Amino acid sequence: MKSPSPTPNFAPIKTQRAFEVICEQIRAQLASGTLKTGDKLPAERELAAEFQVSRSALREALRSLEVAGIIRNVKGVKGGAFIQSAEPDRIVQAMQDYVHLGNISLDELTEARLATQDIIVRLACARASEADLAELEAIAERTRQETSVEARYECAAAYYRVLARATRNRMFGIFVDSLSAILHEFVQGPDYETLQETLIDSRFKLVRHLRARDADAAAAEMRKHLERVHRHVRKNLKAQGASTKTRKIPT
């Protein structure tokens, strides 16, 4: 055995690649406020010269920033890379990737959803405006008229997004979007049609509780709803067994 290294606490040598350095510099300018939403970066060929790297390396950096949702690339003259305004889509995507790669179980998802929705309902109960409530009702009404499963899902997503917005806290919107996007891949199944009617009823009930500012009743209604969905998904997962689509989330 060799002698152990005397001081094992060296700084980790990290071969920084060109695109990483570029990304860091741009991110730093973003965090410091030098760059802000709406700003336009120089053209690729120009930026490459400025950073003294090839256009390929610069493009990989820009591509990274784009998929991170930080910039938006637009073609044509007067095109270029524009600093994006904040969109939570990337967070949702990242969470979806994490679940696809990882080991989050359906039970964990549901528990997290129960917890966050409980908070959301209670906050919304305290803060929702009459306009919010009316919008919720309108969406629930529209859900009844939609026929396709996909359209109904869109309505459901809109409903919960408005509900989250009523908390006046954008963080909850992100949580909700992430969790429901992940669960969306699993809500289809044989009895989904019949379940839908129950779900829509539940949404009307929830609005009534919110309007009465009865937080406990609203939270209870939400809880019943989520547990219904959970049972539905769980049943379908068991029924379909080893389908490639469902194996991804262990129950």
Partner DNA sequence: CTCCTTTAATGGTCCGACCATTATAATATT
Partner DNA sequence: AATATTATAATGGTCGGACCATTAAAGGAG
Q: How far is the CB of 21 from a copy of itself (least distance, A)?
A: 14
β-pair partners for 199:
none
* Residue among 127 and 235 whose Cβ is closer to a copy of itself: 127
User: Using CA atoms, how far apart are residues 203 and 198, in angstroms rounded to an integer?
Assistant: 9
Q: How far is the CB of 113 from a copy of itself (least distance, A)?
A: 9
Is residue 135 a contact residue for a copy of itself (CB under 8 A)? no
Is residue 43 a contact residue for DNA (CB under 7 A)? yes
Is residue 3 a contact residue for DNA (CB under 7 A)? no
Name which of 28, 20, 30, 97 is nearest 64 in CA terms.
20
**First-residue to last-residue Cα distance in the chain:** 47
What is the token pair recorded at 1? 């055995």
Q: What is the full DSSP assignment across 125-184?
A: HHH--HHHHHHHHHHHHHHHH--SHHHHHHHHHHHHHHHHHTTT-HHHHHHHHHHHHHHH
What is the token pair recorded at 219? 């939270």
Residue with tokens 């109960």: 125
Is residue 151 a contact residue for a copy of itself (CB under 8 A)? no
* Contact set for a copy of itself, span 111-130 (CB under 8 A): 111-112, 115-116, 119
Binding segment (CB under 8 A) for a copy of itself, from list 42-50, 201-209, 223-231, 240-248? 240-248
User: Using CA atoms, how far apart are residues 142 and 29, in angstroms rounded to an integer?
Assistant: 45
- CA 226, 232, 233, 235 dihedral sign is positive
Is residue 31 a contact residue for DNA (CB under 7 A)? no
User: How many chain residues are in contact with a copy of itself, going by CB under 8 A?
Assistant: 54
Per-residue mark of binding to DNA, 6-25 (x: CB under 7 A) = ---------x-xxx------
> Taking CB within 5 to 8 Å according to partner kind, which of DNA, a copy of itself, none is near residue 81?
DNA
Binding segment (CB under 7 A) for DNA, from list 24-32, 47-55, 113-121, 148-156? 47-55
Is residue 98 a contact residue for a copy of itself (CB under 8 A)? yes
Spatial neighbors of 177 by CB under 8 A, at least 6 apart, are 88, 91, 92, 157, 161, 164
Binding site for DNA (CB under 7 A): 15, 17-19, 41, 43-46, 52-57, 59-60, 62, 73-81
Binding site for a copy of itself (CB under 8 A): 19, 27, 30-33, 37, 56, 59-60, 63-64, 67-70, 83-88, 90-91, 93-95, 97-104, 108-109, 111-112, 115-116, 119, 169-172, 174-175, 179, 185, 244-245, 247-248
